[in-house]
């Protein structure tokens, strides 16, 4: 990592010039970011090797969030999203956090868990203890499945056994915990679970049924916290109201769902840009948002510090990798990882979590002050104006009329466009 993340004039130049600026700024060859140009990115032939029945590829805008400082190092963050305002909002909140030292992050070891469900067990509690007794044998069998991972310092680390009460009866569920190093790890742990399942059913004296990872990856957590200066946020009243907004999300699942979606606006964009599995991260986040009391709540928390500044914290599962999946095969994802400059999956998971916190603060600040629509409006107005048929020369006028009228709708854009073409103001 560490490249100065404040890019002056970045938004005022066209995309090709921005790519050139990235290369210059990061000291990398321009070629390393070439794949971010759609004409040089993922080909249909490459896509055809990735999934089934390929007929094309889908373009999603990829932007760069600026101003991020994480653990004292600057980082430029690639974000792939179709939603206007997301990249600008993250950059804006990162600029505010930067004044107080930026984001501080940490993470647990990259431990993923697979579950093996055993059905038709006569004595589930007895089976549980027999399986725990076989710990060393089962971990060894799992490791034999992935010598490369073991060679890299990863491998099976621990197992636990639960007896789960379900409608048809009691299931014995064995959890295999695996250090997956720089992989997301789904394939790695699934293969291990399949490899030990026959021995598990022998020991449990039942029938092994499901053998797959859990996306509730609560042994692979990433954390971020930051201080946001009260004056820059808009004053003590804004801090107070952001704390109120966070508190409602902690107390009310209806608000928590939208609060967490705001966090995921940032998180999913970086996960997608780096070719990682967005669904795995999102299901991990939502399952983590359910507390031990079974209630769905906010993933982040907001408080004030002794100086009246806003402090934000975020912790959630972050199963992302730098090997495997699409991260190594998708050319644009490879460019995105190069831009980040991260060397390990843990570093990547921490950057993503910092972006989630920044996104969250930006949304709460807008909600607690002018409302979310104003910031959204001009970007949204551009999309509406383009869909209504505005040309590049007509666009600025149509957008400013829609924003001034505070009516950003297709029918109004068509009316404004018709007036413009008829020569009326
Ligand atoms: P993978 O199997 O392609 O790569 C992991 C393997 O790479 C390891 O087992 C190891 O042998 C090797 N490896 C080489 N260098 C490594 C390093 N530095 N660190 C760790 N391992 C290294 O991929 P994966 O990460 O096991 O699986 C990810 C894929 O699985 C994603 O595409 C995901 O979408 C998919 N998947 C997800 C789910 C789910 O989330 N429920 C289920 C099945 C599959």
Helix (H, G, I), strand (E, B) or coil at 54: coil
Mean pLDDT, range 264-275, rounded to an integer:
98
Q: Kind and range of the H or E element at 90?
A: helix 86-98
**Ligand 1 centroid to 185 CA: how many Å?**
4
Which is the catalytic residue, given 146, 201, 277, 315? 277
pLDDT at position 2 over 80: no
pLDDT at position 70 over 60: yes
pLDDT at position 254 over 80: yes
What does the pLDDT read at residue 197? 98
Q: What is the pLDDT of residues 30-46, one digit of tens each?
A: 999 999 999 999 999 99
- The pLDDT-based confidence of 339 (bands split at 50, 70, 90) is very high
CB atoms within 10 A of CB 254: 10
Q: Print burial letters for 18-57: b (CB count within 10 Å at least 16), e (below 16).
A: bbebbbeebebeeebbbbbeeeebbeeeebeeeeeeeeeb
Q: Give ligand 1 pocket residues (Cβ under 6 A).
A: 146, 148-149, 152, 154, 180-188, 190, 213, 215, 277, 280, 321, 323-325
Q: What is the pLDDT of residues 157-166, one digit of tens each?
A: 999 999 999 9
Q: Given ligand 1 and candidates 143, 178, 325, which is best to mutate, with the most ligand atoms within 8 Å of its CB?
A: 325
pLDDT at position 27 over 70: yes
Mean pLDDT, range 167-188, rounded to an integer:
97
What does the pLDDT read at residue 376? 66
* Residue-averaged pLDDT of the chain: 95
What does the pLDDT read at residue 379? 75
Give me the residue label for tokens 């560490």. 2
Which is the catalytic residue, given 40, 376, 394, 414? 376
**Ligand 1 centroid to 186 CA: how many Å?**
5
Q: What is the pLDDT of residues 364-422, one digit of tens each?
A: 999 999 776 566 677 788 889 999 999 989 998 999 899 889 888 999 999 999 999 99
239 touches 230 (CB < 8 A): yes
Q: Kind and range of the H or E element at 415?
A: helix 410-421
Q: What is the pLDDT of residues 198-210, one digit of tens each?
A: 999 999 999 999 9
What does the pLDDT read at residue 5? 80
pLDDT at position 123 over 80: yes
Give the sign of the dihedral formed by CA 116, CA 120, CA 124, CA 129: negative
Mean pLDDT, range 86-114, rounded to an integer:
97
pLDDT at position 81 over 90: yes
pLDDT at position 64 over 80: yes
357 touches 67 (CB < 8 A): no
* Helix intervals (H) in 152-235: 186-204, 230-233
Q: What percent of the chain has pLDDT over 90?
A: 89
Q: Given ligand 1 and candidates 142, 152, 179, 183, which is best to mutate, with the most ligand atoms within 8 Å of its CB?
A: 183
49 given a catalytic annotation: no
């Amino acid at each position: 990592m560490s490249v100065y993340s404040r890019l002056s004039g970045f938004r005022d130049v066209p995309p090709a010039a921005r790519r050139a600026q990235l290369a210059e700024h990061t000291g990398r060859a321009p070629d390393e970011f070439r794949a971010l140009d759609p004409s040089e990115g993922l080909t249909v032939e490459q896509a055809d090797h990735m999934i089934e029945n390929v007929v094309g590829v889908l373009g999603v805008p990829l932007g760069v969030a600026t101003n991020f400082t994480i653990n004292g190092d600057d980082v430029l963050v690639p974000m792939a999203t179709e939603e206007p305002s997301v990249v600008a909002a993250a950059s804006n909140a990162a600029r505010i956090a930067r004044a107080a030292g930026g984001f501080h992050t940490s993470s647990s070891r990259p431990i993923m868990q697979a579950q093996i469900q055993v059905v038709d067990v006569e004595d589930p509690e007895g089976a549980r203890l027999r399986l725990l007794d076989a710990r060393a044998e089962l971990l060894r069998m799992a490791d034999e499945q992935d010598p490369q991972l073991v060679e890299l310092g990863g491998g099976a680390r621990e197992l636990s056994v639960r007896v789960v009460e379900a409608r048809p009866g009691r299931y014995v569920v064995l959890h295999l915990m695996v250090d997956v190093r720089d992989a997301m790890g789904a394939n790695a742990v699934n293969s291990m679970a399949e490899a030990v399942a026959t021995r598990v059913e022998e020991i449990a004296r039942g029938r092994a049924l499901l053998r797959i990872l859990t996306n509730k990856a609560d042994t692979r957590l990433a954390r971020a916290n930051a201080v946001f200066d009260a004056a820059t946020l808009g004053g003590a009243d804004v801090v107070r109201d952001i704390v109120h907004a966070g508190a409602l999300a902690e107390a009310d699942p209806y608000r928590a769902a939208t609060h967490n979606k705001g966090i995921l606006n940032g998180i999913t964009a970086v996960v997608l840009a780096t070719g990682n599995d967005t669904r795995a991260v999102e299901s991990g986040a939502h399952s983590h948002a359910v507390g031990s009391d079974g209630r769905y709540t906010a993933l982040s928390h907001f408080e004030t510090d002794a100086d009246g500044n806003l402090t934000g914290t975020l912790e959630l599962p972050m199963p992302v990798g730098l090997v495997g999946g699409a991260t190594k095969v998708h050319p644009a994802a490879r460019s995105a990882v190069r831009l980040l400059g991260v060397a390990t999956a843990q570093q990547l998971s921490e950057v993503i979590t910092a972006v989630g916190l920044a996104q969250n603060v930006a949304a709460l600040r807008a909600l607690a002050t002018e409302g979310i629509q104003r910031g959204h409006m001009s970007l949204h107005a551009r999309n509406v104006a383009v869909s209504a048929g505005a040309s590049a020369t007509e666009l600025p006028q149509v957008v400013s009329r829609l924003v001034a009228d505070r009516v950003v709708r297709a029918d109004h854009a068509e009316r404004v466009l018709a007036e413009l073409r008829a020569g009326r103001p």
